[in-house]
């Protein structure tokens, strides 16, 4: 099957129409099998009617009767095999749609910047990728073919009832059906709203589970387990109530069908008996007509089922389409290649968060040549991490620009830019995998020796060796089985293993003690000797982390207020010197 991307229509019907056109062979094959099923289905009652009339007349005995019964059995077997065939053919295409939608959703979310996720809830996005797409998949599979099968069967059965038996009897039996159509319209309107509410409640429940499991340590430490359980119970109850309302409206189709067919059967038997008494139709014809009425059960139930699936699918697509079509918060239109000289520069860089009273960064200039180390320090909120966000293109500056090798960052493809940078954030993220897999994330083909070498550079090898299964130990969700310092050092090892020529440590040593910090910094100095082309940016609160940097800049309220080497800044006697003296006194008191 083709893997071309689906269009982005605003309605479910247009999306399904585009998908059916793309996979018309599968739908045509399933439709052909359903047509054969429908033809044999309407043939069976007529054949039974002929057999009944022949038996009444005494003209059907012995081998002739066995042959007629054999034909009916073969027709039933053929119907069974064809039903299996159309399900395999159709559901394969429908499952393909589900996989395509999930892939497209993931790809879209992967391209979105942090600003997008600040307005979205993780639980809702998870619900879209599971429950909502499953619902759309059902609309493309079961609903589409059930609608075709039901409509085709209805037309053929009505034709046989009116044209093949008696048109007066057929029209009389159809008198209750307009009332059923009115009931279906009323039920569908309520079902759409109920289905949308059910999907929303499921997203709320997902969000609660995701937050509770991610923050399980905090929940336990603060004694919030009972409160969390109560919140989950309330959300689960609301989700169950919303799902029940949706199912209740969906179940309302069945009584409407049942009452309609009961009324039609009563009318048919009354009028049919009168026509038999007048010898205008035979008993066999009335028997066949009654069987045809029974066959109307499926088209009627199919109509209710299809409407329910389509309404649920429409509600799901209403939630899913805006996410699939959401504009990217960061454009990825660059096509430039990185030059050999990848000097990093920022020129009059200015950035403000939406609604902020003052810029987070203003007029920031810096230069980092290959093989050099830049230290960035400052008080909390000075703009240090914001500068890294602009470097990673997680946000765009309002003025000024940042260049790499003289090329403005927006001119580079995001994949090229981010492959150039190994970033260790303040709060490192570990995947639910082994320690070795987490370290080798940037280089999946790295050998065990290379992984262990990176762990030694990050001063975490000894800690890993003490784990129950060493490097094969599963770290759990977000690395929950490791301490904060261990998670940071595993993330540092992952960055050191990367081949990226620019290493960014965004306050990545905050959770380790001063002795471990010294070991890591010593190893980084060794690495600089081995990799003279690798540039390093160290953002830190502890000034000991930047004392060996080639240049240190001090940020205050988004402005560079001091710059120079460690010795030059101490001689300057400004913020850096005062902070250094304070931290030295603090360290001596802790040592005492």
Dihedral, CA of residue 358, residue 363, residue 364 and residue 370, to nearest 10: 150
Query: If 0-12 CB within 10 Å is exposed, 13-18 middle and 19+ buried, where does residue 210 land?
Result: middle
pLDDT at 153: 72
- Residue 424 is inside which H or E element, if any? strand 421-424
Task: Specify the residue for token string 């009323």.
Answer: 186
CA distance 16 to 22: 10
pLDDT score for 2 = 42
pLDDT in tens, 339-370: 878 889 988 899 988 778 888 898 889 999 98
Helices (H) and strands (E) in the chain, counts: 23, 10
Structural contact between residues 256 and 304, judged by C-beta atoms closer than 8 angstroms: yes
pLDDT at 1: 39
Q: Which residues contact 233 (CB under 8 A, 6 or more apart)?
A: none
Let me know if 475 is exposed, middle or buried by CB neighbors in 10 A (0-12, 13-18, 19+). Answer: buried
Tokens of 158: 């009505």
Phi/psi at 429 (nearest 5 deg)?
-110, 125
Ordered by where they begin, the domains of the chain are 12-324 (1.20.1560.10), 336-380+394-412+504-514+534-561 (3.40.50.300), 428-499 (3.40.50.300)
User: How far apart are alpha carbons 180 and 257 in whole angstroms?
Assistant: 7
The predicted pLDDT at position 591 comes to: 61
* Residue 214 confidence (pLDDT): 65
Q: How far apart are CA 557 and CA 386, in angstroms?
A: 11
CB–CB of 124/206 below 8 Å? yes
pLDDT at 221: 66
- Residue 23, SS3 per DSSP: coil
| Measured distance CA(73)–CA(44) in Å, rounded | 10
Q: What is the pLDDT of residue 186?
A: 81
Which of 514, 516, 523 lies closest to 543, judged by CA? Answer: 514
Residue spans of the chain under pLDDT 50:
1-9
Distance in angstroms (rounded) separating the CA atoms of residues 481 and 433 = 11
């Amino acid at each position: 099957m083709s893997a071309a991307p689906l269009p982005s229509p605003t309605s479910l019907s247009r999306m399904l129409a585009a998908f059916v056109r793309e996979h018309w062979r599968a739908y045509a094959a399933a439709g052909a099998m359903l047509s054969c099923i429908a033809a044999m289905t309407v043939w069976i009652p007529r054949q039974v009617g002929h057999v009944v009339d022949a038996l009444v007349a005494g003209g059907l005995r012995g081998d002739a009767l066995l042959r007629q019964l054999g034909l009916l059995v073969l027709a039933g077997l053929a119907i069974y095999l064809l039903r299996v065939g159309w399900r395999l053919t159709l559901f394969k295409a429908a499952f393909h749609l589900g996989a395509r939608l999930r892939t497209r959703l993931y790809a879209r979310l992967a391209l979105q910047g942090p600003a997008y996720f600040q307005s979205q809830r993780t639980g809702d996005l998870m619900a879209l990728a599971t429950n909502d797409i499953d619902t759309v998949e059902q609309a493309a599979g079961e609903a589409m073919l059930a609608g075709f099968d039901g409509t085709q069967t209805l037309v053929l059965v009505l034709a046989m009832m009116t044209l093949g038996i008696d048109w007066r009897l057929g029209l009389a039996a159809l008198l209750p059906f307009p009332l059923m159509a009115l009931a279906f319209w009323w039920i569908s309107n309520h079902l759409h709203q109920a289905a949308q509410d059910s999907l929303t409640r499921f997203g709320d429940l997902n969000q609660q589970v995701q937050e509770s499991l991610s923050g399980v340590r905090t929940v336990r430490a603060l004694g919030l387990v009972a409160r969390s359980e109560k919140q989950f119970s309330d959300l689960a109850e609301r989700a169950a109530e919303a799902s029940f309302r949706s199912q209740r409206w969906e179940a309302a189709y069945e009584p409407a069908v049942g009452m309609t067919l009961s009324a039609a059967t009563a009318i048919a038997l009354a009028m049919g008996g009168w026509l038999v008494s007048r010898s205008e139709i035979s008993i066999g014809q009335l028997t066949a007509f009654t069987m045809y009425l029974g066959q109307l059960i499926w088209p009627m139930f199919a109509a209710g089922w299809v409407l329910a699936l389509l309404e649920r699918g429409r509600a799901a697509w209403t939630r899913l389409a805006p996410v699939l079509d959401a504009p990217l918060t960061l454009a990825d239109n660059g096509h430039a290649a990185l030059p050999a000289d990848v000097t990093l520069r920022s020129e009059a860089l200015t950035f403000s968060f939406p609604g902020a009273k003052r810029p987070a960064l203003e007029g920031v200039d810096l230069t980092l040549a290959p093989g050099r180390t830049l230290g960035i320090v400052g008080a909390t909120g000075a703009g240090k991490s914001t500068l890294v966000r602009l470097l990673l293109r997680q946000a765009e500056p309002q003025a000024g620009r940042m260049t790499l090798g003289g090329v403005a960052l927006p001119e580079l493809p995001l994949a090229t830019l981010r492959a150039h940078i190994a970033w260790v954030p303040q709060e490192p993220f570990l995947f639910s995998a082994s320690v070795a897999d987490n370290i080798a994330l940037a280089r999946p083909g790295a050998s065990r020796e290379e992984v262990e070498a990176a762990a030694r550079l990050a001063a975490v090898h000894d800690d890993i060796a003490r784990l129950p299964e060493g490097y094969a130990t599963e770290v759990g969700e977000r690395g929950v089985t490791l301490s904060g310092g261990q998670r940071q050092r595993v993330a540092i090892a992952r960055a050191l293993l990367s081949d990226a020529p620019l290493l960014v440590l965004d306050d990545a040593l905050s959770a380790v003690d001063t002795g471990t910090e010294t070991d890591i910094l010593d190893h980084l100095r060794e690495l600089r000797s081995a990799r003279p082309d690798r540039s390093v940016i160290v953002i830190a609160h502890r000034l000991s982390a930047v004392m060996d940097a080639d240049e240190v800049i001090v940020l205050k309220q988004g402005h560079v207020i001091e710059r120079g080497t460690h010795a030059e800044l101490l001689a300057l006697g400004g913020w850096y010197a005062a902070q250094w003296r304070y931290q030295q006194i603090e360290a001596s008191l802790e040592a005492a």
